[in-house]
Amino acid sequence: MTSPQIRHRVDPRAERAARTILTGQRPRLLRQPVATATVNERRRDPRAIRDAALVQRQPRPRYDWARDAASAGTTAAVGVAVANAPVIPLQVIAEPAYLVLAMLDRPGGEVSEHDRQVIAAARLLADAGGGAVVTVATGSGEALAEAGSDRHVALPDGWADDYVPERRAAAAAALMASLSPRHILFPDSPDGGDLARRVAAAAGERLFAGVQSLGPDRATRQSAGGSLETGHRPTRLMTVAADAFAPLDGVRHEARPLDLATPVVAGEEVLPRLGCARRLAVDPDALSLSETDFILSAGNGVTDWQSFAELGEALGATRAGSRVVCDAGHLPRERQVGASGTVVSARCYLAFGIAGAPQHLQGITGVKHVIAINTDLHAEMIKRADLSIVADAQEIMPALIRLIRERRHD
């Protein structure tokens, strides 16, 4: 009699995710299968999971699916889920055939969506022939490894808030001289586009601006108001249009600090021509909802309007609300978020006491991170949120204000 053999369950999605090395305009797969961690998978017990999640039986059963992690009967199931997470292989380009520089904006030290798109575009050029992507930005390269950076050149942190494009242009010129990159990509943003033009003028080279598709042999952009497509062989200097390339997902590169023989930071000879060039603080409530990056939003669950106003001020967030609160006159009509209000695309949306009606959710489809505060665990807004607090909004608002003030004093 032969002994029973253990067979591992095949999870085609996990395998595919582990083999995906690039999701630029189209995903690419490694040829060799990558070992996924789907070994010794334990059987899930759906009844035990359901019992552990039951928080209330009357008048109708309610379940808190986050609780199954804590229950003894289901820790194995959660462990399996963790083990099943696809292992993303580290991509190492030890001896790059050539370099592609990505000069990032990194506004306020944050990696913007546009920055990630520029790295994705740079990867298309680098991966075509064994090249490496070198990111150039303020701050460390850690946050850029999963965006696709092989090497990183850190500009001084102090440069993040100052508007001195001459210094960045000098750094770009120094890098062009010392690294001889095959291409240099910039975001086609107000700052990135300005920098690219300065570098092109100083180097006496052509700039192909607003690239929308890119390959080793051809770059294209729109012209004549979008009615024509202009194609060209990729030039050395290019700016990348916003939202033309999908940021990479499921990749892990080194983002190793690059050792430079000569420093890129120029000395006092590169003095800013503008006398005063600091970013000015703006009143967040003066910003239009469609433009602001951080929104503090109130729904019918908010009654303490004084705390709501103070919290908005303390966070530096633009205040907004659901239709119910605008109808009630707590906020002006132009502050209404939703299908019949403003569709927003903030990076962070803090929703206090908002149920998450379909008309409201339609207004926040483009929001990156949603944080919901609601007393009802089953509110639709909580399902939409990346982070939730199941509590009374009137308690959380003053507690947050206290915390912010304490941190500021520290």
Ligand X SMILES: Cc1cc2nc3c(=O)[nH]c(=O)nc-3n(C[C@H](O)[C@H](O)[C@H](O)COP(=O)(O)OP(=O)(O)OC[C@H]3O[C@@H](n4cnc5c(N)ncnc54)[C@H](O)[C@@H]3O)c2cc1C
Which C-beta is closer to ligand X: that of 237 or that of 393? 393
Which C-beta is closer to ligand X: that of 192 or that of 341? 341
- Using rule CB under 6 A, residue 131 touches ligand X: no
- Using rule CB under 6 A, residue 350 touches ligand X: no
- Using rule CB under 6 A, residue 399 touches ligand X: no
- Using rule CB under 6 A, residue 324 touches ligand X: yes
d(CA 347, CA 370): 8
- Using rule CB under 6 A, residue 152 touches ligand X: no
- Using rule CB under 6 A, residue 320 touches ligand X: no
Which C-beta is closer to ligand X: that of 142 or that of 327? 327
d(CA 104, CA 113): 11
Among 115, 219, 341, 344, binds ligand X (CB under 6 A): 341
Which C-beta is closer to ligand X: that of 204 or that of 358? 358
- Using rule CB under 6 A, residue 339 touches ligand X: yes
Angle at 45 between CA 41 and CA 51, to 5 degrees: 145
d(CA 72, CA 74): 5
Neighbours of 334 (CB within 10 A): 11
- Using rule CB under 6 A, residue 322 touches ligand X: yes
- Using rule CB under 6 A, residue 392 touches ligand X: yes
The interface mask with ligand X, positions 285-304, x = CB under 6 A, is --------------xxx---
Among 239, 292, 336, 388, binds ligand X (CB under 6 A): 336
Which C-beta is closer to ligand X: that of 22 or that of 351? 351
Q: Find the binding residues for ligand X in span 359-378 (CB under 6 A).
A: 359-360, 363, 373-376
Q: How far is the CB of 355 from ligand X (least distance, A)?
A: 3
Half-sphere exposure of 321 (CA within 13 A, CB side): 24
Give bridge partners of residue 253 from the DSSP assignment: 91
Q: How many angstroms separate the Cα of 208 from the Cα of each of 25, 183, 196, 234, 240?
A: 20, 11, 10, 8, 9
- Using rule CB under 6 A, residue 83 touches ligand X: no
Among 357, 371, 377, 404, binds ligand X (CB under 6 A): 357
Which C-beta is closer to ligand X: that of 265 or that of 328? 328
- Using rule CB under 6 A, residue 393 touches ligand X: yes
d(CA 1, CA 233): 67
User: What crossing angle do the helices spanning 305-315 and 393-409 adopt, rounded to 10°?
Assistant: 30
In this structure, the dihedral spanned by the alpha carbons of residues 387, 392, 394 and 397, taken in order and rounded to 10 degrees, is -20
- Using rule CB under 6 A, residue 388 touches ligand X: no
Q: How far is the CB of 373 from ligand X (least distance, A)?
A: 6
Which C-beta is closer to ligand X: that of 13 or that of 402? 402
Alpha-carbon Rg for the chain in angstroms: 25
Binding-site size for ligand X (CB under 6 A) equals: 28
Q: How far is the CB of 283 from ligand X (least distance, A)?
A: 24
- Using rule CB under 6 A, residue 91 touches ligand X: no
Q: How many angstroms separate the Cα of 284 from the Cα of each of 236, 280, 287, 292, 295?
A: 39, 12, 5, 8, 9
Query: Which region, judged by CB under 6 A, interacts with ligand X, from 90-98, 142-150, 165-173, 332-340?
Result: 332-340
DSSP-assigned states of every residue in 236-290: SEEEE-TTSSPPP-S-EE--EEPP-SS-SS--TTS--SSS--BPPP--GGGS-TT
Q: How far is the CB of 143 from ligand X (least distance, A)?
A: 33
State residue 43 phi and psi, 5-degree precision.
Answer: -70, 135
- Which residue's structure tokens are 């991509």? 91
* Residues sharing a CB contact under 8 Å with residue 47, sequence separation 6 or more, in sequence order: none
- Using rule CB under 6 A, residue 340 touches ligand X: yes
CA-wise closest residue to 138 among 93, 188, 191, 96: 191
Residues near ligand X (CB under 6 A): 299-301, 322-325, 336-341, 353-355, 357, 359-360, 363, 373-376, 379, 392-394
